[in-house]
Structure 1
Amino acid sequence: MRVDASTAVSEGDSVIAGRDNVEFQVIKTHDNNNVSAVQGTRPYATTSFIAAIKACAGVSFQRKTAVIMTSTSLGAVYRACGASVQVNADFTIDQFACYVGNVPSIPIAQVLQEEGGVVCWTGQQLKFLRLDDLMKQTSVKRVDEDRTVDLQSSFLQRHEIPFFYSTDDSGNFAYGNRTKTRAAFYMPRQDARTLANMTKVLIMRKQLKSPYAPAINAGQVITVVDTPFAIVTAAHVYQTGSDGSGANAYSKFWLGGLQ
């Protein structure tokens, strides 16, 4: 963005952005002071910055105190870790622990893997969905002709997605999904349901470039021909061409299938 004395952005500032007017907290800035110009009588430079949704930002900072919870919900975990975001869909988790000096988003990601779930942003609220329920959503876009970029490698999948095993109270082994030969990871004190969830993941399958569609975001489903795919990442590009490079607007989606 263009910056002068009246529009400077600093770390910690709040910025309203996006079609839903979401408030973001700036966590990193990069000032390009050498790129200066004049618009009328106003000299300006440019800056870029990274910002997190302010209502969720608390889970991205190291904890001063520990958060340890049992038989709770992910919404309660977020609130305990400093987030104020509203949650419109949730599920129960057995236990959560984030110790002093740790970043809550890391154990949150671990809990999501153990429960076979994901976090989605709806524009104003968070929702937590299990992967099976994510794929059952109504498609927001249908592509009748496959014009995507295919991403396929069972070789990489077997290297990157392990199966998990544990032992029960009797000392017997408990296994997750081991139908394919994969790396094996031991997880203490986990049952077969959790072990199976941990190998259930979204595999990146396709890339789709489309006309500008800012209402379509990660966590929604796009159907390509007759197959539904979850949007893992959505990028929306809107270039006004004010710098002389020409106007350009499009959206790009990275689509995943449930493995």
Structure 2
Amino acid sequence: MNVYLREGGDLLPGDVVIKWIGRSDLTPVPRSVEFVVKLIDGVQEKLKTGASIWSGRENLRYEIVKTDREQPLGQVQGKNQQQAMRVTALLHRCASVARPLNSATILTDTTLGAIYRACGAYMPVASDFAVPRFTCFKGHAPSYPIAQALQEEGAALVLRNGSITAMRLTDMARQAPVADIGQVDSSAKIESEFLQHQDIPSYYSVDDTGAIVLGHMGQARRVKFIPRADVRQLRNASCVLVRSKTVDSTICQQYQAGDVIRVAGENLVIITAAHAFESNEGAQESRSRLWLGKLINAQ
């Protein structure tokens, strides 16, 4: 539950932070934190929208994007009723891609790292890849076309040791497991080929000559158009991670999105990892929840 108001200092006391949740995702903004604090000792003035905090196991810098002051807690300290405030913060160096742009960003023959920089996010991207074209109009958040560019490359962003890496999903799924849960599978599980055919389309496009270009069309699925895409991009777009299991465990902050967990002999990729600490009548409780998925390549 470490929340610092400046890098390396001004730690919020443990009795002020009631609840803390850190999330790791395979998204254009790969880290976020949400925490609840008691409004004492001028805490509200220090945690304003736009302010920076440092938090989490990696002690990364986050930007506060939302505060939500809750109803009184029913407790009195001195002459004042105690209130709490919920704070949401995004990874500082990527937060700008979640905001609508003031002006359009249109790039050709560029890279993913250059797209981040053009959108105001100064996070270097390791294992960068070429993006033939990128378009994000004024008033739109860049995170959506960035996610599309990653999908067409069959890749996702992984944050490790404070740096972002673009990793292909096939390489991600082939990683050695960081943990083995055991031979008995007691996780929550969802499985539906029917929904997969609804949610994972086959893609097609049109080339410069006007000819139809097809991706994977072997199964009866929804069909969706992607402009100016080649066969490789169309096939990559149908290769996705599908959430299949959810695992609750004791706190395991060392496991993050992009890692592989073995569950009952099956290797699954962590799509989202949430790690939570909560103060309950003086005692601290901690837990983690992992959303796991497997690689589906729509043929």
Which TM-score applies when normalising by structure 2? 0.80
- SS of structure 1 residue aligned to 2:73: strand
Identity among equivalent positions (%) equals: 35
2:150 aligned with 1:112, yes or no? yes
How many angstroms apart in 2 are the aligned matches of 1:233 and 1:257? 13
Q: How many angstroms does 1:124 deviate by? A: 1.3
2:75 aligned with 1:37, yes or no? yes
Retained in 1: the 8 A contact 2:72–2:81? no
Q: How many angstroms does 1:36 deviate by? A: 5.2
Q: Which runs of 5+ in 2 are unaligned?
A: 1-36
How many angstroms apart in 2 are the aligned matches of 1:41 and 1:141? 51
Q: Where does residue 84 of structure 1 map in the other structure?
A: 122
How many angstroms apart in 1 are the aligned matches of 2:39 and 2:96? 27
2:290 aligned with 1:235, yes or no? no
Show the 5 A alignment for 1:1-259: 1-8=37-44, 9-35=47-73, 37-38=75-76, 44-145=82-183, 146-241=185-280, 243=281, 247-259=284-296
- Worse overlay, 162-171 or 229-238: 162-171
Whose relative contact order is higher, 1 or 2, with alpha carbons under 8 Å and at least 6 apart? 2
Q: Structure 1 residues 2, 253: CA separation in 2 closer, same or farther (over 3 Å shift)?
A: same
Q: Structure 1 residues 218, 39: CA separation in 2 closer, same or farther (over 3 Å shift)?
A: farther
Query: Deviation per CA, 1:195-243, whole angstroms, max 9, x where unpaired?
Result: 11111111111111122101111111111233211101111122232x4
How many angstroms apart in 2 are the aligned matches of 1:99 and 1:240? 44
Q: How many angstroms does 1:33 deviate by? A: 4.5
Retained in 1: the 8 A contact 2:152–2:237? yes
Query: Deviation per CA, 1:92-121, whole angstroms, max 9, x where unpaired?
Result: 221112222221111101111111111222
How many angstroms apart in 2 are the aligned matches of 1:188 and 1:61? 25
Instruction: Report how many aligned residue pairs link the two structures.
Output: 257
Retained in 1: the 8 A contact 2:202–2:238? yes
Q: Which runs of 5+ in 1 are unaligned?
A: none
How many angstroms apart in 1 are the aligned matches of 2:227 and 2:114? 25
Q: How many angstroms does 1:47 deviate by? A: 0.6
How many angstroms apart in 2 are the aligned matches of 1:131 and 1:35? 45
Q: How many angstroms does 1:70 deviate by? A: 2.0
Q: How many angstroms does 1:5 deviate by? A: 4.1
Q: Where does residue 29 of structure 2 map in the other structure?
A: none
Q: Structure 1 residues 147, 33: CA separation in 2 closer, same or farther (over 3 Å shift)?
A: closer
- SS of structure 2 residue aligned to 1:55: helix
Query: Deviation per CA, 1:11-56, whole angstroms, max 9, x where unpaired?
Result: 1111211111111111111102422534578864211011111111
How many angstroms apart in 2 are the aligned matches of 1:40 and 1:255? 47
- SS of structure 2 residue aligned to 1:93: strand
Which TM-score applies when normalising by structure 1? 0.92
Q: Structure 1 residues 27, 230: CA separation in 2 closer, same or farther (over 3 Å shift)?
A: same
- SS of structure 2 residue aligned to 1:178: coil
